[in-house]
């Protein structure tokens, strides 16, 4: 569709952020002039009163910059061909870069303070908005180097961060233009079409796509292995220079999450692998007695065609989220009525979906609604993000409202599970029920088990390099194939090329990130169970201790307060039982 052909009620109204472009321009000019005021505080943060004034000023400027950036990029996301919108977004990006440069003196100055000086500010009621920020500074102090050393590392970072860029060029710009002949037609082989081809009901098509796709990585495997090995080496060297025990500790401490969460995840998932093996056996039988790696994405059940028009889909989602209370549902309707949701796909619009917004402006959601079953789940997912942001923003100050990526997917996945449970409870149609159960099982396989396998592979790679052993095509591929066999079991034919799957995972260049998908899924299963079966007290705790918690303390502690302790066996036990129950229900159906 062309944007002008879409009804206004399905296009978001950005006036909640800025009433007009003129208002944006005024704020832009004012923010630029304010940035210059930050220099007056350089060298003076040792003085608590000056530090407090600086925090207040920097927050004021940061919030203004955030609003400018969000408005400009959201406007551009609805039409990437609009030159005016693109220009606005580029200007906002430049402003934020300038703000970052102007504040580069802050962390070195704060970490140069003694523990006593930091404790003095942390315990001062006037610093209440900034106490967690200062606690994080104190925690990082032992790992901050001298000003000169930090400068050298920062400059070298421009080079050492390049391994991710190199991989992205290999994986996108230099990805060869390959075509496959499918049913007499030429189909381009891209990342997107590959995912679709693996869902094709014809096994010969799936095999052809799998073989051709992995041939591309196999032909480049030596270059990719060298790129990844050096990225691992860079992570280990950086952690060592900063005095961390290893790269995992360095990554997790930056999120203020204990390393025990990572090891507990791997340990718990390993204990639950028999359930995944049982699911693989079920798939193998369902597909005729043979199960290859290229068969794992082929739906066991045709889409039940739950897809419908947007109004009906939104109504279904709000009905599914009824356990969260009338006030929650009223907020969802307000978002819709206030035109905070951009619904329809249109020319030039960004693909996918997201929830975004600036502090104090209320959240927005971008969709590309096409009426599929998946699109209904996307509505629930993005509204989960939106409500998490809205409750946190209204409950906390700017400094504490933003939540960590460690918990970012929890509320959204909780909403998806509530929707799935609602649909299962309200339909008796056999095909629909089988589809929903299959959808849930695949969600577990990809978000929980597979990401845990990735996490275990990352740990192997970093430990191997830390011991001084080389990471080669052979060692990386051998380790990956061994993990693949451990996770998927004997029911699967572990096709030779799957040993190279590690070479196509972009998240590996953001070390120790993928485990958060698995822990997020685990937390969401527990929380949805508490919401449905824990009574009003459990629901109240979900709102008070999680949705309204923002980032006022460690994200691990926030989840623990909400009833999910990821250092214990209980949440993983609940998740595994949920997976088994869904599988057994599908077997009955």
Interval 183-199: pLDDT, tens: 899 999 988 889 889 99
- Flag the least confident range among 99-108, 322-331, 403-412, 542-551: 99-108
CB contact burial 385-424 (16+ within 10 A = b; e otherwise): bbbbbbbbbebbebbbbbbbebbbbbbbbbbbbbbbbbbe
Q: Give the pLDDT score at 303.
A: 66
Does the pLDDT of residue 498 top 70, yes or no?
A: yes
Scanning the structure block, which residue is given the tokens 């011991």? Answer: 467
CB within 8 A of 215, min separation 6: which ones? 497
Tokens representing 25 are: 């321009």
Catalytic entry in 66, 109, 382, 501: 382
Confidence of residue 319 (pLDDT cuts 50, 70, 90): very high
How many CB atoms are closer than 10 A to CB 123?
11
Q: Are strands 364-369 and 341-344 parallel, antiparallel or unpaired?
A: parallel
Confidence of residue 351 (pLDDT cuts 50, 70, 90): confident
Q: Which domains does the chain have, with CATH numbers?
A: 3-159 (1.20.140.70), 162-256+273-300+469-509 (no CATH)
Q: What residues does 182 pair with on adjacent strands?
A: 185
Q: Give the pLDDT score at 157.
A: 79
Closest CA to 494 of 504, 482, 502, 506: 482
Confidence of residue 144 (pLDDT cuts 50, 70, 90): confident
Mean pLDDT of 237-249: 96
- Give tens-digit pLDDT for 502-530: 999 999 999 999 999 999 999 999 999 99
Closest CA to 509 of 192, 154, 168: 168
382 noted as active-site residue:
yes
How many CB atoms are closer than 10 A to CB 196?
12
- Give tens-digit pLDDT for 416-470: 999 999 999 999 888 889 999 999 999 999 999 999 999 999 999 999 999 999 9
Q: What residues does 292 pair with on adjacent strands?
A: 493
Own/partner contacts of 38-41, CB < 8 Å, gap of 24 or more, are: 38/102, 38/103, 39/102
- Flag the least confident range among 187-191, 220-224, 300-304, 428-432: 300-304
Distance from chain centroid for Cα 410: 10
Closest CA to 354 of 346, 344, 345, 342: 342
- Give tens-digit pLDDT for 406-426: 999 999 999 999 999 999 999
Alpha carbons 339 and 355: distance in angstroms, whole number = 14
The mean of the pLDDT values for the chain is 94
Confidence of residue 305 (pLDDT cuts 50, 70, 90): low
Burial of 529 (0-12, 13-18, 19+ CB in 10 A): buried
CB contact burial 173-192 (16+ within 10 A = b; e otherwise): eeeeeeebebeeeebebeee
Does the pLDDT of residue 316 top 70, yes or no?
A: yes
- Give tens-digit pLDDT for 5-54: 999 999 999 999 999 999 999 999 999 999 999 999 999 999 999 999 99
CB within 8 A of 343, min separation 6: which ones? 6, 10, 11, 310, 367, 369
CA distances from 526 to 69, 362, 442, 542 (A): 36, 28, 18, 11
Q: Are 541 and 500 in contact (CB under 8 A)?
A: no
Alpha carbons 150 and 154: distance in angstroms, whole number = 6
């Amino acid at each position: 569709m062309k944007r002008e052909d879409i009804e206004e009620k399905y296009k978001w109204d950005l006036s909640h952020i800025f009433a007009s472009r003129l208002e944006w321009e005024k704020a832009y000019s004012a923010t630029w002039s304010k940035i210059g005021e930050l220099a007056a505080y350089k060298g003076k943060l040792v003085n608590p009163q000056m530090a407090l004034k600086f925090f207040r000023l920097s927050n004021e400027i940061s919030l203004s910059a955030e609003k400018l950036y969000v408005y400009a990029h959201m406007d551009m996301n609805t039409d990437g061909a609009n030159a005016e919108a693109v220009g606005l977004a580029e200007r906002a990006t430049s402003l934020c870069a300038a703000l970052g440069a102007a504040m580069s003196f802050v962390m070195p100055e704060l970490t140069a303070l003694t523990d006593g000086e930091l404790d003095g500010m942390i315990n001062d009621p006037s610093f209440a908005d900034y106490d967690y920020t200062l606690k994080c500074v104190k925690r990082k102090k032992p790992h901050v180097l001298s000003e000169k050393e930090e400068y050298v590392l920062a400059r070298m970072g421009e080079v050492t961060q390049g391994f991710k860029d190199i991989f992205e060029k290999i994986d996108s710009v230099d990805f060869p233009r390959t075509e496959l002949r499918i049913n007499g037609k030429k189909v381009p082989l891209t990342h997107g079409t590959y995912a679709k081809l693996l869902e094709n009901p014809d096994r010969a098509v799936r095999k052809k796509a799998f073989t051709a796709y992995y041939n591309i990585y196999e032909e480049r495997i030596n270059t990719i292995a060298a790129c990844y090995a050096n990225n691992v080496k860079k992570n280990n060297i950086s952690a060592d220079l900063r005095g961390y025990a290893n790269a995992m500790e360095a990554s997790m401490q930056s999120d203020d999450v204990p390393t025990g969460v990572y090891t507990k995840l791997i340990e718990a998932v390993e204990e639950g692998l028999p359930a995944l093996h049982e699911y693989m056996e079920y798939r193998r039988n369902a597909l005729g007695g043979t199960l290859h790696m290229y068969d794992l994405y082929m739906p066991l059940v045709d889409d039940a065609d739950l897809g419908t028009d947007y109004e009906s889909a939104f109504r279904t989602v709000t009905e599914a989220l009824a356990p969260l209370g009338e006030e929650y549902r009223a907020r969802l309707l307000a978002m819709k009525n206030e035109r905070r949701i951009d619904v329809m796909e249109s020319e030039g619009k960004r693909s996918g979906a997201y929830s975004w917004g600036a502090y104090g402006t209320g959240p927005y959601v971008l969709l590309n609604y096409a009426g599929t079953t998946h699109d209904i789940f996307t509505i629930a997912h993005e509204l989960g993000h939106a409500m998490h942001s809205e409750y946190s923003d209204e409950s906390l100050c700017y400094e504490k409202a933003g939540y960590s990526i460690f918990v970012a997917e929890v509320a959204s996945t909780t909403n998806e599970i509530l929707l799935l449970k609602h649909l299962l409870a309200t339909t008796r149609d056999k095909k629909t029920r089988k589809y929903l159960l299959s959808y849930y099982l695949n969600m577990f396989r990809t978000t929980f088990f597979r990401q845990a396998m990735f996490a275990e592979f990352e740990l192997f790679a970093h430990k191997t390099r830390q011991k001084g052993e080389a990471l080669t095509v052979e060692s990386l591929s051998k380790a990956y194939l061994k993990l693949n066999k451990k996770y998927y079991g004997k029911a699967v034919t572990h096709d030779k090329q799957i040993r190279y799957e590690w070479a196509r995972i972009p998240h590996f260049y953001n070390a120790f990130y993928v485990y958060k998908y698995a822990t997020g899924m685990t937390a969401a299963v527990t929380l949805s169970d508490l919401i449905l079966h824990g009574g009003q007290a459990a629901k109240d705790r979900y709102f008070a201790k999680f949705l309204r918690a923002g980032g006022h303390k460690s994200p691990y502690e926030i989840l623990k307060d909400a009833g999910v302790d990821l250092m214990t066996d209980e949440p993983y036990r609940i998740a595994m039982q949920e997976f088994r129950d869904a599988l057994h229900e599908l077997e009955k159906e």
